[in-house]
Amino acid sequence: SQLAAAGITIVSGAGNSGPGWGSLMNPADDAAVIGVAGLDKDGKLAAWSSRGMTLWEEPLGAGRAGVDVITHGEFWGADQHNACQHQWGTSVACPVVVGLLTLLLSSLPERQRNTLLNPAALKQLVYAGSSP
């Protein structure tokens, strides 16, 4: 929340402890963070992707939600030696969201772009641009 107050947007993987309900990890459960879950190579919610509410507040309080968007989290990519490597995980899905936001913001005139450079506005853009 302190980073969000300073205008810094955080995109965080929900975790790779799925599929159980309540497997969501922090900081993806923070309201100021864009929480990302992953799709497998077939475009389905990956079994390894964390989901659901956090459980550590229970039984005395409600859990926190944290998955804001689900995107590709499994694919083949280059490793550090320029060879192919199977990559998977919610951390692999995060750059997809960051890239999307970067491309969107770069297409806007600077004046309009500057009005959107805050965590709440960027999270809203993710929501508005996502489809069920």
Q: How far apart are the first and last CA of the chain?
A: 28
Residue 39 has pLDDT above 80, yes or no: yes
pLDDT of residue 102: 93
pLDDT at residue 61 is higher than 80: no
Q: Looking at residue 58, what is its pLDDT?
A: 67
Q: How confident is the model at residue 1 (pLDDT cuts 50, 70, 90)?
A: confident
**52, 58, 101, 127 from 18: Cα distances, Å:** 9, 19, 26, 23
Task: Taking the CA atoms of 46, 48, 54 and 55 in sequence, report the sign of the dihedral they define.
Answer: positive
Is the pLDDT reported for residue 71 higher than 80? yes
